[in-house]
Amino acid sequence: MKKNIKYGILAFITACCFLACAKQDDTYRDFLKGGEILYIGRVDSVKNYGGKGRIGFSWLLTSDPKITKCRIFWNGVADSVEIPVTRTQGVDTVRVTLNNMTEGVKTFSIYTYDNAGHRSVRVEKIANVYGDIFQLSCLPRITKDIVKRSNGLMRWDWIGTTENYIGVKMTYVDLAGATKEVWWEPNKLNADSLAGVKPESEFTYVTYFKPEPAALDTFYSVPVTKKWPK
């Protein structure tokens, strides 16, 4: 009886192992030929850079001098771009930008190929393309409590959105009547001040945004125009 239980458990474990192996990523099945795995080196260190209606990629080729091209697929395999490659003796960097892309989160699959038609293992990257929907979130920051101090210094607080915000470009008129520009970067105080401003003159500012630190494009809000106090 004990032997039957032991053999039953062993058979169950063997069956589980077989099923687990059968469910492995079928990416590798493409390279099974005559009992051997035939594939070439894949891309390494893939980085993506989202932009407005476009997206950039870079990656390294660290091995396999036989690589002659790379291909990126998205929308399943409905869309793709081929990138010719000329290998050197060292590590090579490949860069590509995909234009005319629709906005949204997309899954990209990257492969390498050699002249014999062998393909690498898939490298997958999930990345964002930005557009009108993101633009709607780019609201201008608001200047609050603008005060002219005794020394003529204008001081104010910033309120409003801070997500993806990288700064504000302001155009104003100085005491001599000349038009000047200044760039305000984010700060912990959420406040700024400016000297040499012509009282009661208009100033205009635009708020700038980047959807991700290494984004290809910068987005900006509609301009806001106000007046300095007396």
Is 12 among the domain residues?
A: no
Residue 105 has pLDDT above 70, yes or no: yes
Structure-model confidence comparison of residues 180 and 29, the more confident one = 180
145 and 106 within one domain: no
Is 87 strand, coil or helix? coil
112 and 145 within one domain: no
107 and 37 within one domain: yes
Return phi, psi of residue 149, to 5°: -85, 170
Which CATH number do you get for residue 40? 2.60.40.10
Model confidence band, residue 38 (pLDDT cutoffs 50, 70, 90): confident
The burial class, CB within 10 Å (0-12 / 13-18 / 19+), for 224 is middle
145 and 105 within one domain: no
| Predicted local distance difference test score (pLDDT) of residue 188 | 86
Percentage above 70 pLDDT, the chain? 84
| Predicted local distance difference test score (pLDDT) of residue 63 | 82
Q: Which of 10-24, 35-49, 161-175, 185-199 has the lowest mean pLDDT?
A: 10-24
Task: Give 19-64 as a 3 state SS string.
Answer: HHHHCCCHHHHHHEECCEECCCCCCEEEEEEECECCEEEEEEECCC
120 and 36 within one domain: yes
Return phi, psi of residue 96, to 5°: -150, 145
Question: Mean pLDDT over residues 173-193, rounded?
Answer: 95
- Structural domain including 127 reads 24-131
125 and 35 within one domain: yes
Residue 220 has pLDDT above 80, yes or no: yes
Is 119 among the domain residues?
A: yes
Q: Which of 91, 106, 131 is a domain's end point? A: 131
Question: Mean pLDDT over residues 174-193, rounded?
Answer: 94
177 and 124 within one domain: no
Residue 16 has pLDDT above 80, yes or no: no
Is 203 among the domain residues?
A: yes
Per the structure, how many domains does the chain have?
Answer: 2
pTM (2 decimals)?
0.78
Q: Smallest Cα–Cα separation from 55: which of 163, 214, 221?
A: 214
Is 166 among the domain residues?
A: yes
Is 214 among the domain residues?
A: yes
Model confidence band, residue 36 (pLDDT cutoffs 50, 70, 90): low
31 and 123 within one domain: yes
